[in-house]
């Protein structure tokens, strides 16, 4: 991203040293394959630059302290700093917390640690300083195998080996492992059915599905581990998470979208002196930005495939509109997509994050609609004609802008509130919007979550999809510029439709499900919660009943039966009337 003012997240200082050390190791063993493009002192120089960048942002931090909310810039900064001081350890043996911590703290203070399960038990350990990480890595041994050779790339993914049986104990003496996957739907339905109101159900669903603090830390750590390999080529790069991992709408199990940010290199323009000598880097040129993006991702993709432990199933999808490298990071269980030169998506992430923070109802409604759409197969993790989660989120935001009074401002209003420091153009697109949230006037809408959910279904059950488009920049439907069944204007690349892939059949299904769910919600509201008898679970009601695909099918069948019964009744009534009106043959 070239001109985002908020993207300068500092690279922590000693990480540069560690990276340099790891590069030196690589050079020693396999110099010809992966040569270090920069000298050790170049790395140290880049550390100085990053510390300076860190000092530049106090104004924003002060504003945040005042309103008590973190900007996405701060979330990124903190997340990356923590991740750069962390290691990921596979704990095959059952170690006790006490012994494990004692062993780790020989290298320095442990700030935080937690365990999680993903094809085995892993521990994320965050030290108070990067020196501790360097010291721990210094002690780690390189494995040797009898019939196989190791690829000499040292990462911060380690395996804990236990030499004595006394170190292995029962898991009870260890902190509980965190779950990193979302709750199975049946369990979620049961949990929601126990709630007394639909509002409570929507809040409970959000709490059950959203990313945990630990899961977000793990995502930042995966980015940091990948940065170590990208740094081999691009010493000033950063890898940042974007999309639902950080926009506030991420569900446990969602993919990890990553952005390789080379702004540190591209934006480096030393002041040219008025007289005397000056130096310029000699650099290769390419005929287009797209080709540069493709070759960078191709090289990084190969490195991830060949050298980074735990990364499997690497696929280079370089011909896509937004080229990417996809892979699975096995130790975290995360499906990862790495892109570069994708600044607009970073700004969309920032915008969604801002909307989610403006009013708590935004996130609850988005989580509810996303979960509803997922169980009813309107969205899918497989590419196809589905409505994407991103499109669905924009549909919810648009609906909230259309309430009276509106719950969230339009993007144009957010742009009008922007200060001079917020000016931002990415790849020729105006991505300016306000960063000081205190300038956004409070809204006076008092609708409940239950009302909003019902109104959302009604709104889209009757929306003129055939002629109108959804536009969160204006906050008003606009005439469609082309004939795609569903037209959702891309908030920043305004000539693009984010839902171009959606076909008529899927859109019709969405509309029908909105109608049916609105009806079902009305019924549930009238009936209220149906308490379970002792020992049995309460019957699904309210939102819980919307999350059961069978419930919708059952409702359809009931409707059909009812219309059949009504039809039959009308038929027999007409027949009886006809027979009454017939002159009595016998009497004639
Ligand atoms: P999940 O389904 O939970 O992964 O949601 P997501 O928001 O992360 O969506 P996805 O992984 O598909 O895309 C990641 C991010 O890329 C989104 O949050 C957007 O910021 C951006 N994005 C996705 N689709 C589009 C699109 O069609 N156009 C544009 N401009 N940006 C998109
Ligand atoms: Mg995603």
pLDDT at 61: 54
What is the pLDDT of the chain when averaged over all its residues?
83
Q: Which residue has the higher pLDDT, 415 or 588?
A: 415
Q: Which residue has the higher pLDDT, 6 or 300?
A: 300
User: 115-160 pLDDT, tens per residue?
Assistant: 998 888 999 999 999 999 999 999 999 988 888 888 989 999 999 9
Q: Is the pLDDT of residue 45 over 50?
A: no
507 lines ligand 1 (CB under 6 A): no
Q: Is the pLDDT of residue 221 over 90?
A: yes
Q: Which residue has the higher pLDDT, 532 or 202?
A: 202
pLDDT at 561: 62
Nearest atom (ligand 1) to Cα of 492: 30
Structure-derived torsion over alpha carbons of residues 20, 21, 27, 33, reported in degrees to the nearest 10: -60
427 lines ligand 1 (CB under 6 A): no
- Cβ neighbours of 137 (radius 10 Å): 18
From ligand 1's centre to the CA of 500, what distance in Å?
14
Mean pLDDT of 293-302: 96
User: 438-497 pLDDT, tens per residue?
Assistant: 999 999 999 999 999 999 999 999 999 999 999 999 999 999 999 999 999 999 999 999
CB-CB contact of 399 with 456 (8 Å): yes
From ligand 1's centre to the CA of 390, what distance in Å?
5
Report the run of H or E that residue 317 belongs to, with start and end.
strand 311-317
pLDDT at 164: 64
Q: Is the pLDDT of residue 323 over 50?
A: yes
User: What pTM was estimated for this model as a whole?
Assistant: 0.83
Query: Which residues are CB-neighbours of 417 under 8 A, at least 6 positions away?
Result: 433, 434, 436, 439, 440
- Cα distances from 49 to residues 17, 42, 43, 237, 567, in angstroms, run 14, 11, 10, 12, 78
13 pLDDT tier (thresholds 50, 70, 90): very low
From ligand 1's centre to the CA of 444, what distance in Å?
30
Maximum Cα–Cα distance for the chain, whole Å? Answer: 126
CB-CB contact of 87 with 134 (8 Å): no
Q: Is the pLDDT of residue 37 over 80?
A: no
Nearest residue by C-alpha to atom 31 in ligand 1: 345
Q: Which residue has the higher pLDDT, 52 or 333?
A: 333
Q: Is the pLDDT of residue 565 over 70?
A: no
pLDDT at 75: 95
Name the least confident of 18-27, 278-287, 536-545, 546-555: 18-27
User: 573-588 pLDDT, tens per residue?
Assistant: 566 556 555 554 433 3
Question: Helices in 492-538 by DSSP H: which ranges?
Answer: 504-527
- Nearest-5° angle of CA 190, CA 195, CA 201? 85
Q: How far apart are CA 83 and CA 62, in angstroms?
A: 24
63 pLDDT tier (thresholds 50, 70, 90): low
pLDDT at 31: 27
pLDDT at 79: 97
Q: How far apart are CA 220 and CA 172, in angstroms?
A: 29
From ligand 2's centre to the CA of 388, what distance in Å?
10
pLDDT at 176: 65
388 lines ligand 1 (CB under 6 A): yes
Q: How far apart are CA 430 and CA 149, in angstroms?
A: 51
Question: Helices in 116-197 by DSSP H: which ranges?
Answer: 130-139, 185-193
């Amino acid at each position: 991203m070239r001109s985002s003012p908020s993207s300068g997240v500092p690279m922590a200082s000693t990480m540069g040293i560690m990276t340099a050390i790891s590069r030196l190791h690589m050079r020693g063993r396999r110099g010809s394959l992966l040569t270090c493009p920069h000298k050790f002192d170049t790395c140290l120089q880049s550390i100085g630059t990053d510390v300076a960048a860190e000092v530049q942002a106090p104004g924003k931090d002060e504003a945040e302290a005042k309103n008590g909310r973190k900007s996405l810039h701060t979330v990124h900064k903190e997340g990356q700093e923590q991740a750069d001081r962390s290691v990921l350890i596979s704990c095959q043996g059952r170690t006790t917390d006490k012994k494990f911590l004692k062993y780790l703290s020989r290298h320095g203070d442990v700030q935080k640690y937690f365990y999680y399960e993903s094809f085995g038990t892993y521990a994320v350990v965050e030290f108070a300083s990067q020196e501790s990480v360097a010291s721990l890595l210094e002690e780690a041994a390189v494995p040797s195998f009898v019939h196989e050779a190791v690829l000499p790339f040292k990462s911060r993914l380690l395996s804990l080996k236990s030499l004595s049986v006394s170190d292995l104990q029962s898991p009870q003496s260890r902190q509980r492992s965190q779950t990193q996957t979302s709750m199975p739907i049946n369990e979620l339905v049961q949990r929601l059915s126990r709630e007394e109101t639909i509002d409570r159900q929507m809040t409970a669903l959000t709490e059950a599905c959203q990313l945990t603090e630990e899961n977000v830390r793990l995502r930042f750590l995966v980015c940091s581990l990948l940065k170590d390999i990208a740094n081999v080529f691009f010493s000033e790069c950063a890898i940042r998470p974007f999309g639902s991992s950080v926009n506030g709408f991420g569900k446990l199990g969602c993919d990890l979208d990553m952005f390789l940010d080379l702004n540190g290199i591209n934006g480096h323009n030393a002041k040219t002196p008025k007289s005397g000598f000056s130096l310029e880097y000699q650099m290769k040129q390419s005929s287009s930005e797209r080709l540069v993006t493709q070759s960078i991702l191709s090289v990084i993709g190969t490195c991830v495939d060949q050298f980074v432990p735990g990364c499997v199933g690497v696929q280079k999808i370089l011909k896509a509109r937004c080229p990417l490298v996809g892979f699975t990071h096995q130790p975290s269980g995360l499906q990862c997509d790495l892109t570069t030169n994708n600044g607009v998506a970073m700004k969309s992430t920032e915008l969604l994050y801002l909307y989610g923070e403006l009013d708590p109802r935004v996130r609850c409604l988005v989580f509810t609609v996303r979960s509803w759409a997922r169980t009813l197969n309107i969205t899918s993790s497989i590419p196809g004609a589905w409505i994407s989660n991103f499109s669905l989120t924009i549909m919810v935001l648009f609906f909230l802008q259309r309430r009276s009074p509106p719950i969230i401002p339009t993007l144009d209003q957010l742009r009008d509130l922007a200060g001079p420091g917020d000016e931002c153009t990415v790849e020729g697109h105006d991505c300016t919007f306000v960063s000081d949230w205190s300038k956004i006037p409070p809204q006076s809408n008092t609708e409940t979550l239950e009302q909003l959910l019902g109104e959302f279904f009604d709104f889209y059950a009757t929306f003129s999809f055939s002629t109108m488009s959804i536009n969160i920049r204006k906050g008003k439907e606009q005439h469609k510029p082309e004939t795609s069944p569903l037209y959702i204007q891309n908030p920043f690349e305004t000539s693009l439709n984010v839902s171009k892939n959606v076909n008529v059949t899927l859109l019709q299904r969405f509309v029908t499900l909105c109608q049916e769910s609105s009806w079902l919600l009305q019924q549930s509201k009238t009936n209220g919660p149906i308490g379970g008898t002792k020992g049995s679970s309460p019957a699904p009601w309210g939102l819980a009943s919307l999350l059961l695909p069978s419930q919708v099918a059952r409702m359809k069948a009931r409707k059909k039966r009812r219309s059949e019964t009504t039809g039959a009744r009308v038929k027999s009534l007409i027949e009886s009337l006809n027979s009454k009106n017939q002159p009595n043959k016998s009497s004639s």
